[in-house]
Amino acid sequence: MTIKLDGKQTAADIKAHLAERVARLKEQGIEPGLGTLLVGHDAGSVKYVAGKHADCAEIGIRSIKHELPEDVTFDDIAAVVRDMNADPACTGYIVQLPLPKGIDENAIIDLIDPAKDADGMHPYNLGELVLHVKGDITTPLPCTPRGVIELLGAYDIDLNGKEVCVLGRGITIGRTIGLMLTRRAVNATVTLCHTGTKDVADHMRRADVIVAAMGSAGFVKPDMIKDGAILLDVGVSRVFDEEAGRWRVKGDVDKACYDKAYAYSPNPGGVGPMTRAMLLANVVEMAERQLG
Residues annotated within the binding site for NADP(+) are: 168-170, 236
Give the DSSP per-residue string, 112-125.
S-GGGBTTS-SHHH
Count CB atoms within 10 A of the CB of residue 109.
19
Q: What angle do CA 209, 210, 212 make, to 5 degrees?
A: 155
Contact 65, 40 (CB under 8 A): no
Closest CA to 108 of 127, 121, 126: 121
Residues that are catalytic? 52, 96, 119
- Which residues have a Cβ under 8 Å from the Cβ of 74 and sit 6 or more positions away? 103, 104, 107, 108
- Which residues have a Cβ under 8 Å from the Cβ of 147 and sit 6 or more positions away? 7, 271, 274, 275, 277, 278
Contact 95, 64 (CB under 8 A): no
At position 117, the amino acid (one-letter code) is D
Cα–Cα dist 83/89, whole Å: 11
How far, CA to CA in Å, does 157 sit from each of 130, 160, 186? 24, 9, 11
Contact 186, 222 (CB under 8 A): no
Q: Which residues are annotated as a binding site?
A: 168-170, 236
CB-count exposure of residue 28 (10 Å: 0-12, 13-18, 19+): exposed
Listed in order, strand segments (DSSP E) in 48-188 are: 62-68, 92-95, 163-167
